[in-house]
Chain A
């Protein structure tokens, strides 16, 4: 404070006290500014940390899933509607190109550039018995037969039971699918009475459902509901053979696509069961690009595969 005593001896001291106050004011002002700037930086980094969609990464992942799903449908469509492997591959390539053209245009609405191409297609074998009044024996009527050999993978394995009375009553003589690589086995049996059907997986339990079920063997579900023990070829590593046993103890339809071209043609004829050379899987190269990110990857399309 200014000295009001009128004593001139303290003149220099008083003057410096005023300067100290002024300097202190400046120091305080600068430190407030520093605090404000720091606070702002903290809030800004907190803001950045809570923003999840900076580079739209999840959009790229969703795009990948959508493309896998869509190409899977086109692959199955080509498999169903063409007759040879070459024709099927050509049809798949053609429809995929057509789909890509549209997807690219639609994605461009959201400011996304995309690219999609087929890198490779692998040949497989489709086995189908589509006569709902027939059992699952081979073309010569044998009830124990090898469906495919040296199989590297299986997808879209569907069994549909149409005649409940044809099923065995117990596990002993039930229809069984066996997957074996020579050392390890995996097996699933289907049996039942007039009210229940049991789908028993060797060594890991069973699921019991009503009569005439539809079983998605590779998808692990029965009538659309998950069956926990049903995990196809679990514990069987490497290439395996798929065998049907007691194939006269079931009536209905069965179809599967195996990643192999090895099978005994004597087991099949032109009616039931039939065999066809189809696309097992396709590998696509895709790219998803915006101003913020570039995402490029190879994806494998194998609709209905256990791990897919």
Chain B
């Protein structure tokens, strides 16, 4: 009788201990890996990168250097001045916008792509890569701005001075517009940690 009771108490104690342990384990498991946990997918870092990219784009847009970079086109060789034969730059581009991006991201272990999206005849969408550094990771963020071109806009020569009017050259985006309107170009800056 006494022995049985002692065994029962021991069992109770063990059960209680197990219960405590399992609840501690459960409590640890239920705490998710949050976006604030230190990792490359840290939401905080993504927010900051997104804000930096949006800031760099806004700055370039305000000062006119974004447009200058879009128009930095070599009509005769059908690609941007000094770009690779694929048409895009693989490091950065030699305009003020390129310098801004390089200063913001270049030496911080952050890679970026710059894509240009424009309207094509017949209601389609065309894409042109301006800077291409590879396939973005799953944690990439994107910032965009839209630039409108008119028939009066001039493509830039290699030294960034104004050249021929945009509708008189083999520019990558076609003249889809009525009257003086030429095309609209959406500039996407894709940023990710490497």
Task: Please report A residues at the B interface, Cβ cutoff 8 Å.
Answer: 1-4, 6, 8, 11, 14-15, 17-18, 21-22, 24-26, 28-29, 32-33, 35-37, 39-40, 43-44, 46-47, 50-53, 58-59, 62-63, 65-67, 69-71, 73-74, 77-78, 80-81, 91, 94-99, 101-103, 105-107, 109-110
Contact = CB atoms under 8 A, between A and B. Distances in A.
Contact of B12 (A4, A22, A66, A107): A22
B54 A58 contact: yes
Interface string B109-126: 000000001110001010
Contacts of B20: 25, 28-29, 32
A217 B146 CA distance: 28
A277 B181 CA distance: 21
Given A2-B9, A70-B184, A62 B43 contact: no
Q: Which of B10, B12, B32 has the most CB of A within 10 A?
A: B12
A1 B9 contact: yes
Pairs A-B, 3 closest by C-beta atoms: A70-B148, A2-B9, A25-B16
Contacts of A11: 5
User: Which has the most chain A C-beta neighbours within 10 Å: B13, B51, B147, B150?
Assistant: B150
Contacts of A80: 152
B77 interface: no
B43 A47 contact: yes
Contacts of B147: 66, 69-70
Interface string B6-30: 1011101101110110111011101
A69 B148 contact: yes
Interface in B117-160: 117-119, 123, 125, 144-148, 150-152
B35 A98 contact: no
Contacts of B180: 74, 77-78, 81, 91, 95
Taking chain A's interface residues, is the majority helix, strand, or loop, or is none over half, making it mixed? Answer: helix
Given A50-B47, A62-B145, A107-B146, 15 more contacts: A2-B10, A14-B9, A29-B19, A32-B20, A40-B32, A50-B43, A65-B58, A73-B150, A77-B181, A78-B179, A80-B152, A96-B181, A98-B176, A103-B184, A106-B184
B146 A106 contact: yes
Interface residues on B, range: 35 or more
20 contacts: A2-B6, A8-B1, A18-B8, A32-B20, A36-B28, A43-B34, A50-B43, A66-B145, A70-B146, A70-B147, A70-B148, A73-B148, A94-B179, A98-B181, A101-B119, A102-B183, A102-B184, A105-B119, A106-B125, A106-B186
Contact of B51 (A21, A52, A62, A107): A52
A280 B44 CA distance: 45
Interface string B171-194: 000001111110110100000000
Contacts of B43: 47, 50-51
B50 A53 contact: yes
Contacts of A74: 148, 150, 180-181
A105 B34 CA distance: 36
Contact of B152 (A46, A47, A51, A77): A77
Given A47-B43, A50-B47, A66-B145, A109 B30 contact: no
A18 to B, nearest CB: 5
Contacts of A99: 148, 177, 181, 184
A21 B151 CA distance: 85
B176 A32 contact: no
A53 B144 CA distance: 13
A69 to B, nearest CB: 7
Contacts of A96: 181
A14 to B, nearest CB: 7
A40 B31 contact: yes
Contact of A32 (B23, B36, B148): B23
B2 A6 contact: yes
B91 interface: no
Name, among A6, A44, A66, A103, the residue most crowded by chain B CB atoms within 10 Å (CB to CB).
Answer: A66
